[in-house]
Amino acid sequence: MRSITILGSTGSIGAQALQVVAAHPARFRVEALTAHRNAELLARQARLFKPNAVVIADEEKYGELKELLKDEYIKVYAGSEAIAQVAESAPADVVLVAMVGYSGLLPTARAIRAGKAIALANKETLVVAGELIRDLAARHRAAILPVDSEHSAIFQCLAGEGDNPVEKLILTASGGPFRGKDRAFLERVTPDQALRHPTWNMGAKVTIDSASLMNKGFEAIEARWLFDVPPGQIEVLVHPQSIVHSMVQFADGSVKAQLGAPDMRLPIQYALSYPDRLPSALPRVDFDACRVLTFERPDGDAFPNLALALEAARRGGNVPCILNAANEIAVEAFLRGRLSFTGMSRLIERVMNDLPYLPAPSLEDYAATDEEARTLARERARRGQD
């Protein structure tokens, strides 16, 4: 029996993780659940899985959540500090970080300091502070298990390879809803069009990042820290079938690939059960139905966000933190109709270029950089300076 705390249980990844838990009641028990502001869904999850504690980040929702769970023996807390405390102190074997955005960084750091295994689905933690988190995990001997399908694939390809030298990590991307479209087309796309992902079912923020290829840029930065590979040895290929989740090329030229049906419950289950592989009723690859698997280079002219992310990875320091903060504001502005799809990239690039560079930031420096980048990006988005 493995006990699990899920940070962000009402989001797409968190909800699918609970499906995995429900499918294996003899292997997993829920210790704590947290959510941003969906008190009603969090209460339903709590009634079903009976955790010891729940936390709602939005303190204005505390009364509602408390009332919904008044007849349950479940501790109810509110606020971002309470989430960090639960991540650190709840007696869980694994903390699944499924929160979206920068807010996942502090709870992850606190859980690592407590020596807990981290099942990481929050990209921003390693994008913003990858070096700091890697060093913290090494110091406290805390395992970081990737949940993203691409990083899970690389993790599985590296299993059993020991110190065999890696020549290249190859991340695959579906290409999103606008694969093959040019910049002229992208100038006119609407939020509704960008939210129609052809393969994956994700939250709005991640879906927009996928459509702009920023998501793949974030994954390249993550891979750099997860697998200790320089940015120049990370490649991205567009693979619209989403069957090959990623690949590793070794020094002898051999390439290992991990294949699976495009269902996030597969990498979630592997991260929660590692090193065991549990039986499941999840979809299998139907090779008769996917007789053609294609790969192509991403269009850097139409999708400059990928290049911006790789540049941030090469520059290091606080630049990835600036990239992430500016992107969150840009996506928010696009979804509200204040910024065009291509305007997101222009805004992000300007903020990256205009803020001061810090080569070796502390956790406090990251917090200050994040706030400064958001303020600048928000002001320019409000003025239409994309």
User: Per-domain residue ranges for the chain?
Assistant: 2-146, 162-260+298-383
Q: Which amino acid is at 169?
A: L
CA-nearest of 206, 212, 231, 208 to 221 is 231
* pLDDT, tens digit (0-9, with 9 covering 90-100), for 226-269: 999 999 999 999 999 999 999 999 999 999 999 999 999 999 99
CATH-assigned architecture of domain 162-260+298-383: Orthogonal Bundle (1.10)
Give the phi and the psi of residue 298 in degrees, each rounded to 5.
Answer: -70, 150
* pLDDT, tens digit (0-9, with 9 covering 90-100), for 86-123: 999 989 999 999 998 788 999 999 999 999 999 999 98
pTM higher than 0.85: yes
Instruction: Report the number of secondary-structure helices (H) and strands (E) in the chain.
Output: 16, 11
- Token pair, residue 117, equals 């295994």
Give the phi and the psi of residue 108 in degrees, each rounded to 5.
Answer: -65, -45
For strand 166-173 and strand 144-146, is the pairing parallel, antiparallel, or unpaired? unpaired
For domain 2-146, give the CATH superfamily. NAD(P)-binding Rossmann-like Domain (3.40.50.720)
* pLDDT, tens digit (0-9, with 9 covering 90-100), for 146-200: 999 999 999 999 999 999 999 999 999 998 899 999 999 999 999 999 998 776 6
Task: Tell the residue number behind the tokens 């697998």, with chain if given.
Answer: 227
- Show contacts of 311-316: CB within 8 Å, 24+ apart: 311/352, 312/217, 312/221, 312/352, 313/220, 313/221, 313/224, 313/231, 313/234, 314/231, 314/232, 315/357, 316/131, 316/359
The C-alpha atoms of residue 70 and residue 52 are separated, in whole angstroms, by 14
Distance, C-alpha 134 to centroid of its chain:
16
Q: Above 60 in pLDDT, residue 19?
A: yes
